[in-house]
Amino acid sequence: MRVLLSLCASLVLLWSTVQCRPSHDHSHHGNNNVSISANGSLKIYQENLDFAFRLYKHISAQTDYQSKNVFFSPLSVSVALAALSVGARGKTHQQLFEGLGFNSTEITTEEVNQAFQHIHHNLNEKTDVDLSLGNALFIGQEFKPRPEFLESMKRYYESEGFSTDFSKPEEAKEQINKYVNEKTKGKISELVQDVDPLTVMYIINYIYFKGKWQIPFDPKATKEHDFHVDDKTTVSVPMMYEEDYFHVYQDEDISILQLHKWIRSVAMMNYQVYVPKLSLKTSYELKEILPEMGITDIFGDTADLTGISEERKLAVSKVMHKATIDMDEAGATAAAATGIGGGGSSAGFPAPTPVLKFDRPFMVFVLNGDTRSIMFMGKIVNPAK
């Protein structure tokens, strides 16, 4: 009876030359004593927004995913890549930085890191909603990352560090999956399917959000309704129903740049609202998508990740992203889903309450207002899938 959103992005690093080193303690300490505010994060919100929509376009364009539901956390992917960029140098760094939408003549690496630090603090300080964002490094026992890298990961990305024996793939897999399962409160139990014994490090980002609708739906009002997937396909879905005052804004123009206008423009209006109950799980391997966005070098021999470790030739082997959404009568997002539909009410006479029925493909956004981040976004084509 609640909305559960959770997600993980992970980057898998492989080394290409095996070199044994004595294992060591990976614990590290950073000064996390920064003022808790969303301030710095506003420096990058426009870039993060643009990145979110570019990523959405590329994910939706993948033939595999065409006419399928799309659901992911742009914020999680941004954070995972930004965290990786801490260890990237040269052209590899430039590609990540620009791929994330940053222009080095306008913003420095330090400012970007600080902005992400603010986002972590802002999201994690919230007590009124169940929300957490964090990162973890699973570091091979014989791999020795630079202390500065670990320090920055801890300081800016609230990253925890763990020592992992990748020569025992089953145990390593279990260790990582157990961690992610705990952080996402059981929503993502199998982030990693198989572990390559040559892995030196996993960078994991997770985001978990559970909210309540401002106005919960009455479970007794939930009935089967038709949902029009396309002109030819209709499916039956459990549709939640409520008549009340909702934040609504109607717009004919649905270009992406309007998102903030919509948020600013919503007004409380009485509506009959129908929303499908949903439970979705998605999984994306971003290794095919990121190169389309200009991020290529991290995957090959060209990768320069000497900021992580100078000893070895490192490259990223996988960028996995999993997300889930459960939407039911009690659950809700902190942000309103802005929709289109219904009719206007006429002044003067009691008019029938307009209807807002999400019975055809629609988009969903979960936004964090303070940092103006898109925590989750998606396109629900078929809620019955």
Ligand X SMILES: *[C@@H]1O[C@H](CO)[C@@H](O)[C@H](O)[C@H]1NC(C)=O
109 binds ligand X (CB under 6 A): no
| C-beta neighbour count of 36 within 10 angstroms | 11
Q: Which tokens hold the place of 60?
A: 């939706």
Q: Binder to ligand X among 2, 30, 39, 129 (CB under 6 A)?
A: 39
103 contributes a contact to ligand X by CB under 6 A: yes
Could you give the 3-state DSSP secondary structure of residue 353? coil
Nearer to ligand X, 40 or 134 (CB): 40
As a whole number of angstroms, the distance between CA 42 and CA 263 comes to 16
Complex with ligand X: residue 25 or 106, whichever CB lies closer: 106
Q: Which is nearer to ligand X, 38 or 366 (CB)?
A: 38
- Which of 30/291 has CB closer to ligand X? 30
255 binds ligand X (CB under 6 A): no
Q: What minimum distance in Å lies between the beta carbon of 162 and ligand X?
A: 24
Give helix 74-85 / helix 45-61 axis angle, nearest 10°. Answer: 110
CB of 83 to ligand X, least distance (A): 23
User: Least distance from C-beta 95 to ligand X, angstroms?
Assistant: 12
Name residue 254's amino acid: I
Q: Could you give the CA distance from residue 97 to residue 314 in angstroms, rounded to a whole number? A: 18
- Nearer CB in complex with ligand X: 292/370: 370
C-alpha–C-alpha distance, residues 279 and 281, integer Å:
7
Q: Which two tokens stand for residue 113?
A: 């890191």
CB 171, min distance to ligand X, A: 36
Question: Which residue in the set 2, 23, 28, 37 belongs to the binding site for ligand X (CB under 6 A)?
Answer: 37
Judged by CB under 6 A, the chain residues 12 through 31 that form the site for ligand X are: 31
Q: Which stretch binds ligand X (CB under 6 A): 98-106, 227-235, 313-321, 341-349?
A: 98-106
- Tokens for 81, please give them: 């890549």
Determine if 33 is a binding residue for ligand X (CB under 6 A). Answer: yes
Q: Between 31 and 346, whose beta carbon lies closer to ligand X?
A: 31
Contact 26, 150 (CB under 8 A): yes
Helix (H, G, I), strand (E, B) or coil at 229: coil
Give CA separation, 49 vs 42, 54, 257, 263, 384, in Å. Answer: 11, 9, 9, 14, 29
Number of Cβ atoms within 10 Å of the Cβ of 266: 14
Q: Which residues from 324-363 bind ligand X, rule CB under 6 A?
A: none
Please give the Cα distance from 32 to 158 (Å, whole number). Answer: 8
* Among 9-17, 35-43, 169-177, 364-372, the segment contacting ligand X (CB under 6 A): 35-43
Binding span for ligand X by CB under 6 A among 33-41, 152-160, 215-223, 288-296: 33-41
Q: Which of 20, 25, 64, 106 binds ligand X (CB under 6 A)?
A: 106
d(CA 166, CA 168): 5
Residue placing its CB nearer to ligand X in the complex, 36 or 221: 36
Are 19 and 70 spatial neighbours (Cβ–Cβ below 8 Å)?
no
Binding positions for ligand X, rule: CB under 6 A:
31, 33, 35, 37, 39, 103, 105-106
